[in-house]
Structures are given as C-alpha cells and as structure tokens.
Chain A
C-alpha cells in the first residue's frame, strides 16, 4: 500500500494528510493488514450481534 493511494480516502474522511504523513499511515495499515484480513475472513453465525455498549454481567 502506498501513501498516495490513501489520499482520496483520507480526504473523504475529512482528515487530509501530507505526503509524508500518508506514507506513515500506509506503513501502519500495511503492517496490520494480515490481522485485519483475518478478522474480515471470520465466518460468524448470522445471529451474533455486536456488543455495542460493552458491559460485563455476572454469569
């Protein structure tokens, strides 16, 4: 992933960055891509709802 490729995305996010900053962000995203892809590839059952407000309850 190259920093310049991210420019339209950061602009869309309302968070425009310099070329050097885009390169740093690209390096971080590249490093975490394998873990992110693993999350995306998980096949979770349809009835699993996200925990939107995290609370722990006694069992």
Chain B
C-alpha cells in the first residue's frame, strides 16, 4: 500500500499499522498534509493548517513508539479540530471576525486528552460564524462541491469525508456534529450531555452544547470516545460517572437488540430519497437480528420553539459584552448580529416554558425506552443542498434549509441523550444518515448497533469523487 492511500483507511487500521511499525506517524501525517494541499483549496475544510507543528508531533510520536513508549490507538494519528476548541499556539476564532486574533491561554480538555494520547494535530476546521452564521469561504461537500456539508461543524465533516484526516472534533448544540456527518457520509457522535468535557470549547448554548468526534467508521468513534470521555471538574455540566470500555461490546452484534421507531415527528416531512434509504436501513437492522417496535413521544413535534428560545437567549447572553462594544459589534455579519439582537427579546416566561417542556420530553422519552434499547430515526429530512440555496421543497412545501436540517437532531440536545449518525445510503449520489439514540450514558449500545450496521453494509467504504479542479 502506498502512503497516499492511507488517509482513506480507518483510524483503527492506521492505529494497528502504527503499533506494528507497518507505517510511521510521519508517513501518515505527510500523506494527510499532501492530500490537504491537493484537495482543500476546493473543499475549504481547514481554516488553518499547522504543517510544521504536525510534522514535529509526528516525528516525536515515531521516536516514542520506536523507543517502546506506545500510548494507545491515537498515538501518531493525524486529526483535526473545529475552530472553537482552545489550542494554545494556534488561533481559536470561533468562525468569527470578533475573535480573529484570539490566541487562547488554556487548552480545551478534549484536546489535552487527545494530545496526551499522542494524536497529531493537523489544523483547525472551518466553522460557521459563532456556530450560527455562514462560513467564509463556504465549506464544500466532498460528495458534490456545489453543495453544503452541514452546519456548524461542516469543516470537520468535510475534512473526514474528503479523506484529509482520520478524525475531526466537532461541537453540537442542535445537531452540528450529526448534520455534517449525515450530509458528508461520515459517522458523528454527540455523547450524553456531560459525558465529554466542554471546557475550552467556546460556548454557544450552555445547556445544549456537546463536544464530539466525526470519523469514517463507528469503531473509530469508539476508540476516540474512550480517550475524550470522562469527568472534568472544570466543566460544571460534566458528569462524574465512570467511563466504560467502548470496544468491549462493540462486536456483539444485533441479536436481541430492540430498536424503537418514534411514531411522531421523525417521519413527518422528509425527502422521499431520505425516507427510502432510512427505511431500508431499519430493514437491514431487522435482517441482522434486531427487533423493531413502534414507540410514542407525544410532545416531540412541538419542541422547536423550546430550542429556539433556549438557544437565542443563551447565545445573546454569552455574546452580550461583544454586542455592547461598537468595535466588536461591527465585526459580526449582519445576519448573526440580527439573531443575537433578537435574542434580547426572548421573554423569561417563554424561556422557562421551554425548560418545563424539556422536563416533559425527558419523561416521555424515558417512557418510550421502556422495552427498547435504542431509537432509530433519520439524521436529517434532506440531502445536501446547493450552497446558494436558502430554501428547499420538502413534501411539496418550501422550507428554509436551516429550519429543516436540524428537525431530527435537536430533540436529543433538548433531552441530552447520546445520538450517533451513521451513513446509510445515498439519494441521487448524496449521502443519507441513520440516527441512533440511546439511554443516558449508554453510548456503548448505540456504538454497538452502529458498528453492526456498518459490518452488514458497505456505505462507509464508498469514496466521493476527487474534487480537484472543480469550481470552488
């Protein structure tokens, strides 16, 4: 195998090869950097690349491994991180001109854990402005560079989907790990709220924010979660609950697994090509041994207002000091500034009603889990849209893409449950994602189901066309 093909292999395969000496971290890193040089001028997945730092880290990993100090499956593996994770020595801009020169003094807990495990940082991934607005230049979907790869971790999804790195970290407030995963044909995990520390990840909405990985295979996600999960006393939302071995039950298969399909909300309005792929995925789970049941979550359909007011009030509160400064205020794009201004007009009564609804949703979902092990839904109701499009037709009605794209993901931010998006097919050549949702802190079960699904299918082995030379 030539080094040029390595960036397309799974993280697990690369880790085994690094451990055995079949490939060196320097070779892997060089192969990724060459591919970034070749592909990223079209895809724009990276906002900054630290080639010198990456090669230095790769050489250090190579020497340590040769000296017998192998640290585990991330040692010497090239990765990328979204631009809202604090990384001292590399600017953290949150996708915003307000933070264009921000050099963080501390490091994100997740980055510290990845670095201590020996991961090699290639660079920072492009993200939407303040995890809300547009990205510039727009990140392109590796499956069709005329299309959007998803918000706001679109750069992370595109980097993994285009084979530029083995893993990229994203963040998810209403779906921003699972949406780019679904649109770019990769795996994305939002673990249980509190499972993965948010310390050093620039806040968006305190009670909804999650940090997590995007990879090409579920097995890779399990390996990464084993490194980044666990209590962090510096994160007030962090849960002090023991972290299991996510590889232990990964290969146990689906025999006896009970999969619930929610009757409400998740199958209401979606593109037929998405529904066809996801219904087939559910049949594939059944064929592999799972038992599929219908369940009810009555209030799910009316929860959009709850996340809107929670998010708008929270984002505006965090950004308030910058909005009050004329110098900083001018650096927001008008669209994002207007959203933040609108957040000033969220009434406390509406905010508290939203938090009451969250309690009802948690109780209803808990009841729905009586007799099932996981929920299965589509990750999104639509495939990747043209970057110039603001509206799409779904079920014969025009809908704003930002209104539609998070319809099936935000419920799991409101309830805090772990949710995984796994590639489950294509519609007109564009990826479709299957979302698997678990009980609190039971990431192991959704990883087991996702891995079994990938063992039974080949969607994760498909590669996008090389985008070189196509219009950016």
**Interface check B296, CB cutoff 8 A:** no
Interface residues on A, range: 20 to 34
When the two chains form their complex, are residues A39 and B239 in contact, meaning their CB atoms are under 8 A apart? Answer: no
List CB contacts (< 8 Å) of A18-52 with chain B: 21, 24-25, 27-29, 31-32, 35-40, 42, 44, 48-52
Cα A37 to Cα B305 in complex, Å, equals 8
Give per-residue flags for B227-246: 1 if the beta carbon is below 8 A from chain A beta carbons, else 0. 00000000001010100000
Interface of B is mostly: helix
Instruction: Give min CB distance, A41 to chain B, whole Å.
Output: 9
**Interface check B357, CB cutoff 8 A:** yes
Which of A15, A39, A50, A59 has a CB less than 8 Å from the CB of B344? A15
Cα A16 to Cα B319 in complex, Å, equals 16
When the two chains form their complex, are residues B358 and A51 in contact, meaning their CB atoms are under 8 A apart? Answer: yes
Cα A29 to Cα B353 in complex, Å, equals 18
Q: How many A-B residue pairs have CB under 8 A?
A: 105
When the two chains form their complex, are residues B338 and A28 in contact, meaning their CB atoms are under 8 A apart? Answer: yes
Which of A9, A13, A50, A56 has a CB less than 8 Å from the CB of B355? A50
Instruction: Give min CB distance, B373 to chain A, whole Å.
Output: 12
Cα A50 to Cα B338 in complex, Å, equals 28
Cα A38 to Cα B192 in complex, Å, equals 27
Residues of chain A contacted by B48 (CB below 8 angstroms): none
When the two chains form their complex, are residues B440 and A52 in contact, meaning their CB atoms are under 8 A apart? Answer: no
When the two chains form their complex, are residues B192 and A56 in contact, meaning their CB atoms are under 8 A apart? Answer: yes
List CB contacts (< 8 Å) of B343-359 with chain A: 344-345, 350, 352-359
When the two chains form their complex, are residues B299 and A42 in contact, meaning their CB atoms are under 8 A apart? Answer: yes
When the two chains form their complex, are residues B308 and A50 in contact, meaning their CB atoms are under 8 A apart? Answer: no
**Interface check B276, CB cutoff 8 A:** no
When the two chains form their complex, are residues A59 and B308 in contact, meaning their CB atoms are under 8 A apart? Answer: no
When the two chains form their complex, are residues B341 and A39 in contact, meaning their CB atoms are under 8 A apart? Answer: no
Residues of chain A contacted by B345 (CB below 8 angstroms): 6, 9-10, 13, 25, 29
Q: Name A's B-contacting residues (CB within 8 A).
A: 6, 9-10, 13, 15, 17, 21, 24-25, 27-29, 31-32, 35-40, 42, 44, 48-52, 54-59
Q: Name B's A-contacting residues (CB within 8 A).
A: 192-194, 206-207, 237, 239, 241, 299, 302, 304-306, 308-309, 323, 334, 337-339, 341-342, 344-345, 350, 352-360, 362, 366, 369, 400, 416-417, 439-441
Return the 8 tightest CB-CB contacts between A and B, nearest first.
A39-B305, A50-B355, A24-B338, A54-B207, A35-B305, A56-B416, A28-B342, A15-B344
Sample 17 A-B pairs with CB under 8 A, ordered by A number. A10-B344, A13-B344, A17-B341, A21-B338, A24-B334, A29-B345, A36-B305, A39-B305, A40-B305, A40-B350, A44-B356, A48-B359, A50-B355, A50-B358, A54-B193, A54-B206, A56-B193
